[in-house]
């Protein structure tokens, strides 16, 4: 039986169950059976490792609950709606969009919604060709590669840029057609900045109605960025001194106060930590001797914040160490 369900935060979430039609008689439903939620336990374990994003996490857990319950309704031969499930991810870079896309692709596979659950990541260059006819073929090939899984297109609004002679619009039109032809065979996620995504949806009148579920990824707070930094440092087997942590906290909170509309959040933090580790390495090379503790420790002077030119332009300016 080919079934689906619909739910939303704003009356909008659509999930598809792909089942072959088969004649069967409804069996008694064992309501008192012991329930196993292994996919949920795996999901929660992954979510617990993610800093912030409380609303996104809540929506993901609600999605699991609906998937589970509607599977049970299907088994009991109760009514469920039949619709497709595609979504939009709105937010600045480094807010966890790609991470959540991977998490959802795994969940869809675990819940047997998608047979493969592979995540295919793409951008404008993967869809848009250089001559007439190439764009449509590239887009169809990309969708074919994504069948049974999730196609994740980051900075999707870039397809709408380039002027009248650009082939981006052809890619959009082809995507819409592929969504019709393979409605239940893959899930399409379009991601990007909130305002740009809103403008992008106006490019084709058929787009908005095809993306009933919208995830909004807010920027991280200063405290959340500090948690992410500490997690990255610990994962790399380093640790910060108290003074380094204090200085990093001040710097990150200052970045938040600057209100940069396109601040790259976790991506900014990752780059800062990688530069900091390189800075620590140069400091250690200059020391006469160092021990295991020194190899582990990130000091305040190691932090490669914006006002430090060290390694940002390939320059060695460690005169203050």
pLDDT tens digit sequence for 159-193: 987 666 678 889 999 999 999 899 889 999 999 99
pTM over 0.85: no
Which of 188, 217, 246 is the last residue in one of the domains? 217
Residue with the bigger pLDDT between 283 and 21: it is 283
21, pLDDT greater than 70: no
pLDDT for position 203: 76
Task: Tell whether 75 is covered by a domain.
Answer: yes
- For residue 296, being part of any structural domain is answered with yes
- Same structural domain, 244 and 156: no
Residue 28 within a domain: no
Place 306 in a pLDDT band, splitting at 50, 70 and 90.
Answer: low
CATH number of residue 243's parent domain:
1.10.8.60
pLDDT above 60 (res 30): no
What percent of the chain clears pLDDT 70, i.e. is strictly above it?
Answer: 82
The domain that holds 119 is classified in CATH as: 3.40.50.300
Strands 14-17 and 3-6, sheet pairing? antiparallel
160 vs 313 pLDDT, higher one: 160
Q: What is the DSSP letter of 52?
A: S
94 and 237 part of one domain: no
Q: Domain check: are 146 and 229 in the same one?
A: no
Domain membership flag for residue 26:
no
Q: Are residues 201 and 92 in the same domain?
A: yes
Could you say which of 198, 217, 236 is where a domain stops? 217
The residues near 20 (Cβ < 8 Å, ≥ 6 apart) are 1, 2
The model's confidence at residue 216, banded by pLDDT at 50, 70 and 90, is: very high
Backbone angles phi, psi at 5, to 5 degrees: -140, 160
Which of 217, 252, 278 marks a domain boundary? 217
Over 60: is that where the pLDDT of 29 sits?
A: no
Does the pLDDT at position 16 exceed 80?
no
Q: pLDDT digits over 264-305, tens only?
A: 999 999 999 999 999 999 999 998 888 999 999 999 999 988
**Domain co-membership, 65 together with 103:** yes
Query: Do 56 and 188 belong to one domain?
Result: yes
Same domain, 200 and 254: no
Please tell me which residue, 284 or 32, carries the higher pLDDT value.
284
In a domain? residue 29: no
Q: Is residue 91 part of a domain?
A: yes
136 to each of 32, 128, 145, 176, 313, how far by Cα in Å? 52, 8, 14, 11, 41
Six token digits for residue 78: 């109760």
Q: Do residues 180 and 264 share a domain?
A: no
- Whether 129 and 204 map to the same domain: the answer is yes
Report, as an integer, the average pLDDT of 118-134: 92
Structural domain of residue 195, as residue ranges? Answer: 3-21+34-217
Is 97 found in the same domain as 159? yes
Count Cβ neighbours within 10 Å for each residue of 178-211 and write b for 16 or more, e otherwise: bbeebebbbbbbbbbbbebbeebbeebeebeebb
Q: What is the pLDDT of residue 72?
A: 87
Comparing CA positions, the residue from 212, 242, 237 lying closest to residue 226 is 242
Segments in the chain forming alpha helices (H): 38-48, 54-75, 97-110, 124-127, 134-146, 168-181, 194-201, 222-235, 242-257, 265-286, 292-296
The predicted pLDDT at position 31 comes to 53
Q: Scan for tokens 């060290």, then name that residue.
A: 310
Mean pLDDT across 130-145: 93
124, part of any domain? yes
Residues 103 and 251 in one domain: no
Q: What is the mean pLDDT of the chain?
A: 84
Residues 163 and 261 in one domain: no
Domains of the chain: total: 2
Q: Are the C-beta atoms of 232 and 106 separated by less than 8 Å?
A: no
* 119 inside domain: yes
| pLDDT > 80? residue 1 | no
Q: For 142-162, what is the mean pLDDT? A: 92
* Among candidate residues 160, 151, 150, 139, the one with its CA nearest the CA of residue 204: 160
Of 10-24, 67-81, 83-97, 295-309, the poorest mean pLDDT is in 10-24
Q: How confident is the model at residue 311 (pLDDT cuts 50, 70, 90)?
A: very low
- For residue 165, the model assigns a pLDDT of 67
Q: Which residue has the higher pLDDT, 207 or 219?
A: 219
Residue of 271, 223, 230, 231 lying closest to 249 (CA atoms):
223
The pair of three-digit structure tokens given for residue 56, joined into one six-digit string: 């996104």
Provide the percentage of residues in the chain whose pLDDT is more than 90: 57
């Amino acid at each position: 039986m080919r079934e689906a369900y619909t739910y939303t935060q704003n009356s909008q979430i659509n999930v598809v169950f792909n089942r072959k039609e088969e004649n069967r008689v409804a069996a008694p439903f064992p309501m008192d059976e012991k329930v196993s939620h292994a996919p949920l336990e795996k999901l929660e374990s992954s979510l617990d490792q993610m800093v912030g994003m409380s609303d996104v996490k809540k929506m993901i857990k609600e999605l699991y609950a609906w998937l589970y319950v509607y599977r049970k309704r299907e088994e009991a031969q109760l009514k469920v709606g039949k619709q497709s499930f595609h979504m939009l991810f709105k937010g600045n870079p480094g807010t966890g969009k790609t991470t959540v896309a991977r998490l959802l692709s795994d969940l869809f596979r675990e819940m047997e919604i998608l047979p493969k659950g592979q995540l295919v990541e793409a951008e404008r260059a993967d869809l848009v060709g250089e001559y007439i006819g190439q764009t449509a073929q590239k887009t169809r090939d990309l969708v074919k590669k994504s069948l049974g899984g999730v196609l994740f297109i980051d900075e999707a609004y870039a397809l709408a840029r380039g002027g009248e002679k650009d082939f981006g619009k052809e890619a959009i039109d082809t995507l819409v057609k592929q969504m019709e032809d393979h409605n239940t065979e893959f899930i399409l996620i379009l991601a990007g900045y909130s305002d740009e995504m809103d403008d992008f949806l106006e490019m084709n009148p058929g787009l908005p109605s095809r993306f009933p579920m919208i995830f909004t990824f807010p920027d991280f707070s200063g405290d959340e960025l500090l948690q992410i930094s500490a997690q990255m440092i610990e994962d790399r087997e380093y640790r910060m001194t108290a003074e380094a942590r204090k200085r990093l906290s001040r710097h990150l909170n200052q970045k938040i106060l600057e209100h940069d509309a396109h601040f790259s959040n976790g991506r900014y933090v990752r780059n800062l930590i990688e530069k900091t580790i390189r800075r620590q390495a140069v400091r250690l090379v200059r020391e006469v001797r160092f021990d295991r503790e020194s190899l582990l420790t990130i000091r305040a002077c190691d932090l490669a914040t914006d006002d430090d030119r060290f390694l940002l332009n390939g320059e060695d300016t460690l005169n203050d160490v």
